């Protein structure tokens, strides 16, 4: 029959072609493993839709930059109120019955207590000498005829991991001692600063949470688009016996890739921003005679931020996946 | 061996794509699956490939009984089959080589194996010189040959062809038929769905004829009782199609 004759001719043609040398026509070796394929597909999609990918990455970078700026600056904010306590002291006025010897001994004892950086004893005579430098006060004391001033111990608390509340409670505990007549402490402005810092941290935290959620939605939406673009490939993969893991892997890699690149971009934006505001911050600090400086993030902080970004990307991808392979398999 | 036992596929209450279909095909056989459009040919192939789940009845391919198949095993089952589609289902964003390599990547083959197998499959379908091309640049017949190369590259024991010549002229159809016969000669079981009378008349292979979702005993099929699945009662309606045609 004519159709059989044609078949025989086709076979001989195919055998001829089959015997020829076969050129190397494949892509890079790594792209033919399951994981390599997934990564190659993710990178290919980024490359294929350059403008759309760049737009998404810019949105992610800008969105994530504020939370990361706040995170990078949080260490500085934490130290701000502590640094404001530097040089602060509380003065414990001793009972007039306490002798200089006992007062000096008490200062030594208190110095040994935890949380105390330094304790200086000021005797009644030293206090009198200091006040006598002012002529009017010296005249007043001369009229009295006796030294009315008590001995005092000036305590300088350690400012590491301590706040105004801790110092106030320290003042109360010293004030309760029988040797102490009164403790003087004025930390109202530190309290105000702490309240402002706390408010800034709360607002910043909420903003960071909203912006992180926005980034998550952006990633999820991008992955949803990616899924629709890859639908044909996923259907074919399903028909060829691909597992759910195989079909999901490129999507997860895409999510992680967007997270990583978005995080990297946001780190760059954050570093540029911090660098730009560090000079005015230093000027402000010097106006208040403060040692406060805006510190740049540590490499470990940057790595943490990148890790968090990747996890955000993965969460965005996972939230979108919802086992599409199974839907394709049984509904298609 | 493919065996259907009282298989029905109901896509809407009271509306059947397949109704109470029972038959058995031997390993290494070549069988035409015939019937008009909408007769249920594609549904039967989809059930065989576990791309759909029967409403009633059970299917066995080799030693695998589908009702005992876990979700995870379904994908592994399909890796042991080759499927050729009428619209070839090629991916147009990659080369012919990468299209044919796709099932092997899914199967987790090593790169060196992939290279050898893809080149061998393309050689068998006469497309070695087109490996670098994009499918869109190929003719319809060439695209279908790429589809066949992809279906056989993992050396499946069962090849399901759903109207693979449906969009092709008679000469190209003959080429495709020749290729499938070639694979059948090497021991692959072929189930070939078609309604092309020219092709059916040219090749004296046994036929499973479907009409309105039911198996039609008319035509050239020779049908007899087949043994029931292990552990199940034999049923008088279970039929066997001989490879002798």
Q: Report DSSP letters for A126-149, one per residue.
A: HHHHHHHTSHHHHHHHHHH-S--P
More reliable by pLDDT, A287 or A83: A287
Q: Which residues contact A327 (CB under 8 A, 6 or more apart)?
A: none
Quick one: pLDDT at residue A140? 79
More reliable by pLDDT, A306 or A141: A306
Q: Can you tell me the mean pLDDT for B75-99?
A: 89
Instruction: Note whether B170 and B198 are within 8 A (CB).
Output: yes
d(CA A11, CA A223) in angstroms, rounded, equals 46
Contact state of A235 with B89 under an 8 Å Cβ cutoff: yes
More reliable by pLDDT, A138 or A186: A138
What percent of chain B shows pLDDT beyond 70? Answer: 88
Q: Which residue has the tokens 């195919």?
A: A14
d(CA A37, CA A251) in angstroms, rounded, equals 12
Quick one: pLDDT at residue B149? 92
Question: In the structure, what pLDDT confidence band is assigned to residue B223 with cuts at 50, 70 and 90?
Answer: very low
Quick one: pLDDT at residue A241? 87
Contact state of A7 with B198 under an 8 Å Cβ cutoff: no
More reliable by pLDDT, A59 or B236: A59
Reference A17, options B217, B122, B110, B237; nearest CA is B122
- What residues of chain B lie within 8 A of the CB of A236, using their CB? 89, 91, 102
**C-alpha torsion sign, points B104, B105, B107, B111:** positive
Q: Is the pLDDT of residue A56 over 60?
A: yes
Is the Cβ of A237 closer than 8 Å to some Cβ of chain B?
yes
Q: Is the pLDDT of residue B237 over 80?
A: no
Q: Which residue has the tokens 């230093």?
A: A282
Reference A301, options A46, A70, A17; nearest CA is A70
pLDDT digits (tens, 9 = 90+) for A211-260: 889 989 998 988 888 888 888 888 899 888 888 889 999 999 999 999 99
Tell me the two tokens of residue A97.
């019955």
Interface test with B, best of A4, A9, A10 (most B CBs within 10 A): A10
Quick one: pLDDT at residue A160? 67
- What residues of chain A lie within 8 A of the CB of B198, using their CB? 3
- What residues of chain A lie within 8 A of the CB of B98, using their CB? 26-27
Quick one: pLDDT at residue A284? 73
- What residues of chain B lie within 8 A of the CB of A235, using their CB? 89
Q: Can you tell me the mean pLDDT for B184-203?
A: 89
Contact state of B108 with A34 under an 8 Å Cβ cutoff: yes
Q: Can you tell me the mean pLDDT for B183-209?
A: 89
Is the Cβ of A5 closer than 8 Å to some Cβ of chain B?
no
Complex prediction ipTM: 0.80
- What residues of chain B lie within 8 A of the CB of A4, using their CB? 202
Helices within chain A (DSSP H only): 2-19, 34-48, 50-84, 100-111, 124-132, 135-144, 164-175, 188-229, 231-239, 244-287, 299-321, 324-331
Which secondary-structure segment (H or E) carries B114? helix B111-124
Contact state of A239 with B95 under an 8 Å Cβ cutoff: no
Tell me the two tokens of residue A178.
């029988």
Quick one: pLDDT at residue A16? 45
Q: Is the pLDDT of residue A329 over 50?
A: no
Is the Cβ of A242 closer than 8 Å to some Cβ of chain B?
yes
Quick one: pLDDT at residue A20? 46
d(CA A84, CA A327) in angstroms, rounded, equals 61
């Amino acid at each position: 029959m004519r159709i059989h004759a044609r078949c025989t001719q086709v076979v001989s043609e195919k055998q001829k072609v089959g015997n020829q040398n076969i050129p190397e026509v494949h892509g890079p070796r790594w792209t033919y493993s399951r994981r390599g394929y997934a990564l190659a597909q993710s990178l290919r999609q980024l490359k294929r839709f350059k403008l759309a990918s760049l737009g998404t990455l810019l949105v992610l970078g800008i969105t994530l930059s504020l939370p990361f700026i706040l995170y990078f600056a949080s260490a500085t904010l934490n130290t701000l109120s502590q640094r404001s306590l530097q040089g602060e002291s509380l003065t414990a006025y001793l009972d007039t019955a306490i002798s200089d010897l006992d007062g000096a001994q008490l200062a030594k004892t208190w110095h040994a207590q935890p949380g105390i950086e330094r304790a200086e004893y000021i005797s009644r005579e030293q206090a009198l000498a200091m006040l006598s430098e002012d002529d009017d006060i010296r005249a007043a004391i001369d009229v009295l005829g006796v030294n009315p001033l008590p001995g005092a111990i000036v305590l300088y608390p350690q400012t590491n991991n301590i706040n105004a509340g801790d110092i106030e409670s320290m003042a109360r505990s010293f004030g309760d001692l029988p040797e102490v007549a009164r403790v003087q402490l004025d930390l109202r402005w530190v309290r105000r600063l702490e309240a402002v810092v706390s408010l800034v941290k709360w607002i910043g935290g909420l903003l960071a949470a909203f912006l992180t959620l926005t980034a998550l939605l952006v990633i999820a939406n991008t992955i949803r688009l990616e899924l629709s673009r890859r639908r044909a490939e996923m259907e074919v993969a399903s028909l060829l016996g691909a597992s759910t893991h195989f079909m999901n892997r490129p999507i997860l890699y895409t999510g992680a890739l967007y997270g990583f690149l978005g995080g990297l971009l946001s780190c760059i934006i954050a570093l540029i921003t911090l660098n730009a505001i560090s000079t005015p911050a230093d000027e402000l600090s010097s106006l208040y005679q403060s040692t406060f400086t805006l510190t740049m993030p540590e490499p470990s902080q940057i790595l943490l931020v990148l890790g968090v970004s990747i996890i955000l990307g993965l969460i965005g991808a996972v939230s979108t996946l919802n086992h599409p392979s199974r839907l394709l398999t049984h509904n298609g | 061996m493919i065996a259907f036992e009282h298989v029905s596929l109901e896509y809407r209450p009271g509306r059947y794509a397949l109704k109470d279909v029972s038959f058995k095909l031997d390993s290494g056989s070549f069988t035409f699956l015939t019937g008009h459009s909408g007769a249920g040919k594609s549904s039967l192939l989809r059930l065989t490939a576990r791309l759909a789940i029967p409403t009633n009845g059970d299917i066995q391919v080799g030693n695998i009984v589908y009702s005992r198949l876990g979700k995870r095993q379904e994908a592994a089952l399909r890796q042991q089959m080759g499927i050729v589609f009428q619209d070839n289902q090629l991916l147009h964003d990659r080369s012919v080589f990468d299209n044919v390599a796709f099932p092997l990547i899914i199967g987790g083959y090593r790169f060196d194996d992939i290279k050898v197998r893809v080149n061998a499959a393309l050689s068998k379908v006469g497309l070695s010189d087109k490996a670098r091309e994009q499918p869109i640049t190929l003719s319809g017949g060439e695209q279908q040959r790429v589809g066949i190369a992809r279906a056989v590259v993992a050396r499946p024991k069962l090849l399901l062809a759903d109207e693979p010549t449906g969009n092709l002229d008679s000469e190209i159809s003959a080429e495709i038929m020749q290729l499938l016969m070639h694979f059948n000669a090497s021991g692959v079981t072929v189930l070939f769905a078609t309604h092309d009378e020219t092709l059916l008349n040219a090749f004296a292979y046994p036929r499973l004829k479907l009409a309105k979702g039911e198996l039609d005993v008319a035509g050239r099929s020779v049908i007899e009782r087949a043994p029931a699945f292990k552990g199940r009662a034999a049923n008088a309606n279970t039929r066997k199609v001989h490879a002798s045609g």
